Amino acid sequence: MCRQFIVSGKVQGVFFRASTRDVANSLNICGDAVNMPDGTVRVRACGSEESIQQLVAWLHQGPPMAAVSGVEEAAAVCTAPDRFTTGRAS
């Protein structure tokens, strides 16, 4: 199962990507978390349905310094790497 999420709110500069990577790795999820130019974070995640649902629940809260105001979800094509990475949109 692969899904894409756009997380909005105070999600850049608060260790959101690194924390997402740590949570995803603990759930055996592959994909990435990328800072977008509009201040959101795009998360692509591939893994079991149960693991993805656990990640979704975490994305709605994020790390302690974050203030998540919304999480948009959509289907995604499974083109994720074999691990979870972080980066910035170009």
Active-site residue list: 17, 35
Question: What whole-number distance in Å separates Cα of residue 65 and Cα of residue 13?
Answer: 9
* Helix, strand or coil, per DSSP, at residue 6: strand
Bridge pairing between strands 2-10 and 67-75 = antiparallel
Residue 4, amino acid: Q
